[in-house]
Amino acid sequence: MSVIRNILNSRSSKGGNFFNSLHKLLGFRPKNIEIYERAFTHRSLNIKDELGNPINYERLEFLGDAMLGSVIASHLYQKVPEGDEGYLTKMRSKIVSRKHLNELGKDMNLIRFVKSNIPNDQFGVNIHGNIFEALIGAIYLDRGYKYCTKFIYNRVIEPYVDIETLEGRVISYKSLLIEWCQKQKKEFNYQVYEDTGKDELKHFAVKLWIDKKVISKARATSKKKAEEKASKRAYYALQNKMN
């Protein structure tokens, strides 16, 4: 038996239960179950193969990201023949955004399969999208491009990809605000100011100035998140002007 099978033996999903649950999720029978076990193995278990290489989902995540982008790009190329390179790139970014992938992973409840030394409720939200991409990578290695493409169509494109809806979805309110300000020749500035909150976790507070007026304020656990939140509030405050 392999290293991963020795360590995860029945621990993951009691063998047959994992296979049956996976079969139901995928819509086809997995050939090499160990690839899927790897797709749900977190690095915190610190498992290594005979050569000392780490066994976890991260390399499969990389592969799955590439496969997902390829299939989505092909779909958009065929579906929107009038779309130029910039349009197609923007649409693909919306479909494979981290937020959307996290939603997909949550909808499938993939976290139930994850094996780690960290309690599930202590993972960051990106774990859902990460293991979704790892699952895509595992499908490609196990059954090839045809099955991988079919799974993406069934689980991503058909239920979630609506061109008209996606055209109206905002990826980054900050990018939208900056682009608008530049076109309108407006001065803008994101100012980080002292946060007097009592939270245990450090927060960042941001004011968004446009033409020397504070348009919105926001606070979050990172400067980037606070700027995005402030941008979203400003967008809704200025929506009529921006449209």
Binding site feature residues for Mg(2+): 61, 130, 133
Euclidean distance between CA atoms 139 and 30, whole angstroms = 8
DSSP code at position 157: I
Catalytic-labelled residue, pool 49, 58, 65, 158 = 65
Euclidean distance between CA atoms 221 and 18, whole angstroms = 37
Q: Judge whether 38 and 138 are in contact, CB under 8 Å.
A: yes
Query: How many CB atoms are closer than 10 A to CB 131?
Result: 27
Euclidean distance between CA atoms 110 and 73, whole angstroms = 25
Catalytic-labelled residue, pool 37, 133, 142, 228 = 133
121 is catalytic: no
Euclidean distance between CA atoms 71 and 91, whole angstroms = 13
Annotated binding site: 61, 130, 133
CA 43 to chain centre: 18
65 is catalytic: yes
Euclidean distance between CA atoms 97 and 207, whole angstroms = 26
Catalytic site residues?
65, 133
